[in-house]
Chain A
Amino acid sequence: MRAFTYERATSVQEAANLVAAYPNAKFIAGGTNLLDLMKLEIERPARLIDVNGLELDRIEATPEGGLRIGALVRNTDLAAHDTVRRDYGLLSRALLAGASGQLRNRATTAGNLLQRTRCPYFYDTNQPCNKRNPGSGCAAIDGFSRQHAVVGVSDACIATHPSDMAIAMRALDATIETVKGDGTGRTIPITDFYRLPGETPHIETVLEHGEIITAVVLPPPVGGRQVYRKVRDRASYAFALVSIGAVVQSDGTGRIAVGGVAHKPWRSEEAEAELANGPGRAAAVLMADARPTEQNRFKVDLVERMVAAIFTEARG
């Protein structure tokens, strides 16, 4: 870990300004991801701006009938929130499928969205990795790639986004509210929030430097049966090989967001339209452009089987 300065921001704007002013500054929320990466010198900020005191920890109803979740709401509190449990069960389930109780007590909504990949080569600074060290190559593509992405991959990177919560947020069509250093704010639909790796796998979202997430907003409840199914080698405390967040309506239509298969939560409205022709069709469209490696081909089968099972079960 490199030496860094640490400051507590007293307002959202101040936080944004402080980070925007220094190319090497970063926000810190729960620190459960950032500090681990700093210890290994994968992240090397010279300046940390702590956003924990910013009172962004409220969950409130929106005039539209949705829910505004402050960026600093802890994963534990969000999962346990009555409205979330009643109307957005998918989100609660996804959160509780992630990490451990201790980590969820600390982890925040914004930090969770921005957690970085768990690619083992990304974590080993002796190895080439375009995400950690742009232009150095990707050790995973011809290496150990069992956990890696199968869709939306590039020749530069096949990493996945590891968040469970983000899958639920994607299925629920959340939007992300931010404030920038110049004082302007924006609302970013989650579908536009994450980027595919392309040539620049080190750039993971559309956020600008110094742009702070203030809240994540859920639209009014969509009803339906809400399922979060996380598949992993052990029963708990592991990242998803594949996870599916689905909303299944009684007429067999619905939404499907898939985790563990791409650089972002994977969802396709086109595929969902195919649900009318059966879940098999929908899954086929969803995974149509899959480019798996020898080691992770099974993920394509897994998605197809899970989608079929989820939609058949929910109807039956």
Chain B
Amino acid sequence: MQFDKPATTNPIDRLNVVGRPVPRVDGELKTTGNARYAYEWHDPQMDYAYGHPVGAAIAKGRVRSIDTEAAKKAPGVLAVVTTLDVGEREKGKYNTATVFGGDKIQHYHQAVAVVVARSFEEARAAGALVKVEYAPEDGAYDLEEAMDGAVKPDGSDKPDTAVGDFERAFADAPVTLDAVYRTPDQSHAMMEPHASIAAWKDDDLTIWTSSQMIDWWRSDLATTLGIDKERVHLMSPFIGGGFGGKLFLRADAVLAAFAAKAAGRPVKVALPRPLVANNTTHRPATVQRIRIGAERNGRITAIGHQSWSGDLPGGQPELAVNQTRLLYAGANRKTAMRLATLDLPEGNSMRAPGEAPGMMALEIAIDEMAEKLQMDPVEFRILNDTQVDPEKPERPFSHRNLIGCLRLGAERFGWQKRGAPATRREDGALIGVGVAAAFRNNLLMPSGARVRLDGDGMITVETDMTDIGTGSYTIIAQTVAEMMGVDIDRVTVRLGDSRFPVSSGSGGQFGGNSSTSGVYAACVKLRAAVAARLGFNTQDVVFDGGRVRSGDRAVPLSQAAGADGLIGEDTMTWGDLDKTHQQSTFGAHFVEVGVDIVTGETRIRRMLAVCAAGRILNPLTARSQVIGAMTMGAGAALSEELVVDTRRGFFVNHDLAGYEVPVHADIPHQDVIFMDETDPFSSPMKAKGVGELGLCGVAAAIANAIYNATGVRVRDYPITLDKLIGGLPEVA
């Protein structure tokens, strides 16, 4: 089905199941430990061996030799496979860095060998006996230094944009801001580390893994192994978080495949936690310069945003200027991205790539501008709202209610009680509040599904869509139940298997809307098949209460299915509604913080997010997405930073003791409000993404709250106490 006209009324609008707070259908499996994650697959018939990866000890250079003598002789060892053994391989389509194979080291902890043994402990012990000789080379590791040599990235979508005459308008503006902001490298830090089990049967490979994108992994794995894609069967039914870190094929899968071949039996490989940060991808650091010019009445006349980031040769820039092209009005605009070459691990997508770090900078800048204008930052944002793409005014937003989010949030949060900076004290803390807009584009991906109605009236939906903890199982079950007019317990959802139709996968907050749309399309087919079998007219047929009705005839679905059942399969594809209309999601974040007067420790006191993201398919799972994202934003604001050792070229704090994500005590109170809206331009579901929206802007709202509390403006994330302490009041 091609979605090329705005949606009109359809069966989803009944909202008998969709839009309801249905508890996760896989919740019981998860809370009872019965959901099997990649590493936990266990078939008693299988004689599993364990692979332990060895990571490169240098950041750049070549592997001269690898001595595996001692490792091979160690107790329990079955095989050792090195990067030299497998040699250089054709690289998959989606990765920048080589995952495994050849003598070239592109980054620290790149996989150089895998040791396979009967037990995990034996494999790990033998791993330490692998001796690698390197020929190290000098590399570039410092973004600030590499910035001068940064170039306009090719291949990237619009590295530069310009409308009107920015320089002139900026020079003429009576009120201006010109500031530089920095966001650090960040790690996905998902709970489940990357893990795979590989098993060969002749030339056919079965792989259980933790992947957000089944088909991307499948093709890239086949390419790397040099085998036909059809020979790879990949499964990933449960995923313990991804955040973009599992979008692209990773070393665990490749190592497991080579190891299983060499050992002649199935092999399990998990990346040890200390390897995750440097072996996999990360969100690249940015340096961002923002210039804004406004009239004294607060209208923006000039807005410019430049961003610098780094990546390995052949890599991509962090799209940190994206939101600035769309969020606020202003006749004269300019954005630019520059890419430096860095020999750090591969920079790539992490939850809300582009907007997350971009909003961290832009929304502080907006706060600073409001202050210069002596305007309330809520009112300043409202004044500069736009209902059209400011770069192409003929192109409207499909639906945009940023103003509603800001107004409702301000009212619920008690925004009007906000005081001047550094004026409120309670119990040894400086108290402040901050606001930021939330903004993230709505992306669409083709998505397929197969729906089968059986003679017992049960419906099974199969798609290679993944559930990375987001709730895909549940919203897909709701979609089927709504479309087919059955109770949700009549629906079985099977996900994450390369034998199923290719879906959108999970990423870019496109998964929820795209995958349910694919299921919608398949259900339309199934409804037609049911109607056809019964000889009903498709136009007036109603699916409700487990029955199919047409005129005064009503037949139970089970009966319509017949003994062989009926199948509907389709893929949702997208016309150009996202070109004629800008599709984005909006929100407003409000935060109250307390900053310890003595120590400068910032502790969040309460957070509120108001989101306008089209139809909310399930307020429970959507809320979980948003509060999780707000928590991630708290980490981004206050503690998360992969620290670069610029001499040795690696992320130093590469475990969860050193890379501090928020703990429960950091997040005392969160509220989420969803605007009641639909977006008929987005899909027949009229929904949009929400999982990344919740992250975009949170960190800036916290930064702005810290400023309101202390009067100290920090433009360099994370905002740790050492950056505040110099500006705090003297201690008597």
Residues of A within 8 A of B (CB): 1-3, 39-41, 118, 120-121, 123-127, 139, 142-144, 146, 229, 231-239, 241, 298, 301-302, 305-306, 308-309, 312
Q: Is A144 a contact partner of B645 (Cβ separation < 8 A)?
A: yes
B579 lies within 8 A of chain A by Cβ: no
Q: Are B645 and A308 in contact (CB under 8 A)?
A: no
* A308 and B274 within 8 A (CB): no
B202 → chain A closest CB, angstroms? 36
Interface residue? B121 (CB, 8 A): yes
Residues of A within 8 A of B125 (CB): 1-3
Instruction: List 28 A–B pairs whose Cβ atoms lie within 8 Å, in order of A's numbering.
Output: A40-B274, A41-B128, A120-B653, A120-B658, A123-B655, A124-B654, A126-B58, A139-B648, A143-B645, A143-B648, A143-B652, A144-B653, A146-B643, A146-B722, A233-B660, A234-B639, A234-B660, A234-B665, A235-B663, A235-B666, A236-B663, A236-B666, A241-B721, A298-B722, A302-B721, A305-B598, A305-B731, A309-B598
B2: which A residues are within 8 A, CB to CB?
none
Is B652 touching A121 in the complex (CB atoms < 8 A)? yes
- Is B73's CB within 8 Å of the partner chain A? no
Give A241 to B648 CA distance when docked, in angstroms. 24
| Binary per-residue interface labels of chain B (37-77) against chain A in the complex, 1 for a CB within 8 Å, 0 otherwise | 00000000000000000000110000000000000000100
Complex Cα spacing A235 to B731, Å: 22
Q: How far is the CB of A51 from chain B (nearest CB, A)?
A: 23
Q: Decide yes or no whether B732 CB sits under 8 A from chain A.
A: yes
Shortest Cβ gap from B208 to chain A (Å): 25
Convert B591-612 into 0s and 1s, putting 1 for each residue whose CB lies closer than 8 angstroms to a CB of A: 0000000111101000000000
A127 touches B648 (CB 8 A): yes
Instruction: Give me the interface of B with A, judged by CB distance under 8 Å.
Output: 57-58, 75, 121, 124-125, 128, 274, 598-601, 603, 638-639, 643, 645, 647-648, 652-655, 657-658, 660, 662-666, 718, 720-722, 725-726, 728, 731-732
**Inter-chain pairs besides A121-B652, A123-B655, A305-B728, 18 sampled, C-beta below 8 Å:** A1-B121, A3-B75, A40-B274, A123-B658, A124-B654, A126-B58, A127-B648, A143-B645, A143-B647, A231-B599, A231-B601, A234-B662, A236-B665, A237-B663, A238-B660, A298-B722, A302-B721, A312-B732
Bound: A312/B653 CA distance, A: 37
Question: Which interface residue of B599, B639, B654 has the most chain A CB atoms within 10 A?
Answer: B599
Q: Which of A40, A41, A144 is the most central at the interface, judged by chain B CB atoms within 10 Å of its CB?
A: A144
Whole-angstrom distance between the Cβ of B423 and the nearest chain A Cβ: 21
Residues of A within 8 A of B658 (CB): 120, 123
User: How many angstroms from the CA of A301 to the CA of B5 in the assembled complex?
Assistant: 63
Chain A residues, CB < 8 A from B652: 120-121, 124, 143-144
Q: Which of B645, B647, B653, B725 contacts A305 (CB 8 A)?
A: B725
Knowing A298-B722, A308-B732 are in contact, say whether A235-B598 is a contact too (CB < 8 A).
no
Contact of A233 with B732 in the complex, beta carbons under 8 Å: no
Please report the C-alpha to C-alpha distance between residue A44 and residue B178 in the assembled complex, in whole angstroms: 55
Give the distance in Å from the alpha carbon of A305 to the alpha carbon of B596 in the complex: 11
**What A residues does B274 contact at CB under 8 A?**
40, 123-124
Contact A39 B124, CB 8 Å, known A3-B75, A233-B639, A237-B663: yes
Shortest Cβ distance from B667 into A: residue: A235
**CB-CB < 8 A to B666: which residues of A?**
234-236
The residues of B that contact A238 with a CB separation of less than 8 Å are: 660
Residues of A within 8 A of B718 (CB): 233
CB distance from B55 to the nearest CB of A (A): 8
Report chain A residues within 8 Å CB of B720. Answer: 233
Q: Are A235 and B665 in contact (CB under 8 A)?
A: yes
A contact residues around B600 at 8 Å (CB): 302
Please tell me if the beta carbons of B731 and A312 are within 8 angstroms of each other in the complex.
yes
Q: How far is the CB of B126 from chain A (nearest CB, A)?
A: 10
A16 to B658, CA, bound (A): 35
Whose C-beta in chain A lies nearest to the C-beta of B643? A144
The reply to whether A309 and B601 contact each other, CB–CB distance below 8 Å, is no
Please give me the residue from chain A that is nearest to B723 by CB atom: A298
5 closest Cβ pairs, A-B complex = A235-B665, A298-B722, A126-B57, A236-B665, A309-B598
Structural contact, A302 and B645, CB atoms closer than 8 A: no
Complexed CA–CA distance, A118 and B656 (Å): 12
Known contacts: A124-B654, A144-B652. The answer to whether A301 contacts B725 by CB under 8 A is yes
Which residues from chain B contact A235 at a C-beta distance below 8 Å? 603, 663, 665-666
From B638, B652, B726, name the one whose CB has the most chain A CB atoms within 10 angstroms.
Answer: B652
- B198 CB, min distance to chain A CBs, angstroms: 24
Q: Least Cβ distance of B611 to chain A in Å? A: 26
CB B416 to nearest CB in A, in angstroms, measures: 29
Whether B598 contacts A233 by the Cβ 8 Å rule is no
CB distance from B216 to the nearest CB of A (A): 31
Within 8 Å by CB of B124, from A1, A231, A239, A241, lies A1
Contacts of A127 in B (CB 8 A): 648
How long is the Cα–Cα vector from A118 to B721 in the complex, in angstroms?
20
**Within the assembled complex, what's the spacing in Å between the Cα atoms of A298 and B660?**
19
- Residues of A with C-beta under 8 A to B639: 233-234
A236 to B: closest C-beta gap in Å: 4
User: In the complex, how many angstroms separate the beta carbon of B166 from the nearest chain A beta carbon?
Assistant: 37
* Across-interface contacts of B58 in A (CB, < 8 A): 126
* Cα separation A241 to B660 with both chains bound (whole Å): 13
When chains A and B are docked, how far (Å) is the Cα of A95 from the Cα of B23? 39
- Could you tell me the distance between the alpha carbons of A221 and B653 in the complex, rounded to whole angstroms? 40
User: A253 CB to closest chain B CB, in angstroms?
Assistant: 19
Assembly CA distance A216 to B495 (angstroms): 57
Chain A residues contacting B643 (CB-CB under 8 Å) are 144, 146
Residues of A within 8 A of B645 (CB): 139, 143-144
CB-CB nearest in chain B for A238: B660
Complex contact B721–A231 (CB within 8 A)? yes
Q: Do B663 and A234 have beta carbons less than 8 Å apart?
A: yes
- Chain B hits for A142, CB < 8 A: 647
* Chain B residue contacts of A231, Cβ below 8 A: 599, 601, 721
Do B663 and A298 touch across chains, with their CB atoms under 8 A apart?
no
CB neighbours (8 Å) of A309 from chain B are: 598, 731
Chain A residues with CB under 8 Å of B638's CB are 233-234
CB proximity of B603 to chain A, nearest CB, Å:
6
Which residue on chain A has the smallest CB distance to residue B634? A234
CA distance A301 to B722 in the complex (A): 9
Separation of A287 and B671 alpha carbons in the complex (Å)? 44
Provide the bound-state CA to CA distance between A236 and B668, in Å: 12
Cα–Cα distance between A123 and B277 once the two chains are bound (Å): 14
Residues of B within 8 A of A123 (CB): 274, 655, 658
Contact B721 A233 (CB under 8 A): yes
Q: Which of B654, B663, B726, B728 has most A Cβ within 10 Å? A: B663
Contacts of A2 in B (CB 8 A): 125, 128
Expressed in whole angstroms, the minimum distance between the Cβ of A265 and any Cβ of chain B is 19
Chain B residues positioned under 8 Å from A305 (CB to CB): 598-599, 725, 728, 731
B725 touches A298 (CB 8 A): yes
Interchain CA distance A139-B726 in the complex, whole Å: 28
Which B residues touch A301, using CB under 8 A? 725-726
Residue of B nearest to A39 (CB): B124
Q: Give complex CA distance A118, B75 in Å.
A: 31
Among candidates A1, A118, A306, residue contacting B599 with C-beta atoms closer than 8 Å: A306
Please report the C-alpha to C-alpha distance between residue A227 and residue B274 in the assembled complex, in whole angstroms.
Answer: 35
Would you give the shortest CB distance from A219 to chain B, in whole angstroms? 30
Residue in chain B with minimal CB distance to A235: B665
Q: Look across to chain B and name the residue whose beta carbon is closest to the beta carbon of A297.
A: B722
Q: Whole-angstrom distance between the alpha carbons of A3 and B645 in the complex?
A: 33
What is the CA–CA distance of A234 and B668 in the complex, to the nearest angstrom?
Answer: 13
CA A162 – CA B718 in complex, angstroms?
23
Least Cβ–Cβ distance between B201 and chain A, in angstroms? 33
**In whole angstroms, what is the CA distance A312 to B428 when docked?**
13
Assess A236 versus B124: contact at CB under 8 Å? Given A126-B57, A143-B652, A298-B722: no
Report the separation of the CA atoms of residues A237 and B128 in the bound assembly, to the nearest whole angstrom: 30
Q: Which residue of A lies closest to B598 (CB)?
A: A309
Interface centre among B124, B728, B731 (most CB of A within 10 A): B731
- Complex CA–CA separation, A143 to B652 (angstroms): 9
Task: Specify which chain A residues have a CB less than 8 angstroms from the CB of B121 in the assembled complex.
Answer: 1
Distance of A237 Cα from B664 Cα, bound (Å) = 10
Inter-chain contact B599/A302, CB cutoff 8 Å? yes
